[in-house]
A and B are shown apart, each in its own frame.
Chain A
Amino acid sequence: MLVFPDAEIIDWWVEYLPESENIPLKESLPKIDKEWRMRVMSVISLIKMNYESGYSPQDLHHLGALIFYKINKAHNEIDGNKRSSIIITYLFYLMNDYAIREPEEMRLLAKRVARSKGKKNQDAWLHKISGFLSTRVIKLS
């Protein structure tokens, strides 16, 4: 059974991110406020509901792709969607015992998805993203 971030987990995650000892991210994170939390949680809640009711594929990488794509495309006019999609997709994989590799490729993918027009070709993008993710993760346990 896969697990999804809830509001509390996301709060902890974004609380720890700026305090990182390796590379300071405080100035580089998207604006994390009430609206950001609502936007992220609305995407995750819907994906989780469809997963639990069996309406969506049950595969980790398909769900990771959905999270990445839907957060990236949540609101085109809002700054930070690309960063948010990476931050939350990494968290989703982490909670499910995986770590994502290849950050530069992920940055380029996030940019290409953001540039794609509306939600045209969504299925093709999801296929491409899940294929990408499936070959760029490591199992943690």
Chain B
Amino acid sequence: MGDMNTLALNKEEKKQLKELFSKNFSKLSDKEKKEVLQLGVKDFSKRFGPIIQKLASE
């Protein structure tokens, strides 16, 4: 298992994500759920963006 340092997020964003997950996702408000997804997109696009582009071009 890797660590939080491999996330494509800055220090504040990592802290924010950690705090959001002090509750189960299903217990979060819609606003908080959207925050989790937006942070997730930021990490996903940085890490997985190149392979999504690669798969799209194959």
Contact = CB atoms under 8 A, between A and B. Distances in A.
B29 interface: no
Interface string A1-24: 101000001001100110111111
Interface in A77-108: 82-83, 86-87, 90-91, 94-97, 99, 101, 103-104, 106-107
Summarize B's interface: helix, strand, loop or mixed.
Answer: helix
Contacts, number: 114
Given A83-B52, A95-B25, A17 B18 contact: no
Contacts of A20: 41-42, 44-46, 49
Given A3-B24, A99-B7, A140-B4, A23 B45 contact: yes
27 contacts: A9-B33, A9-B37, A13-B40, A16-B38, A20-B44, A20-B46, A22-B8, A22-B45, A22-B49, A24-B49, A25-B45, A25-B49, A28-B49, A30-B56, A87-B48, A90-B44, A91-B40, A95-B25, A95-B36, A104-B51, A106-B48, A135-B1, A137-B2, A138-B1, A138-B6, A140-B4, A141-B22
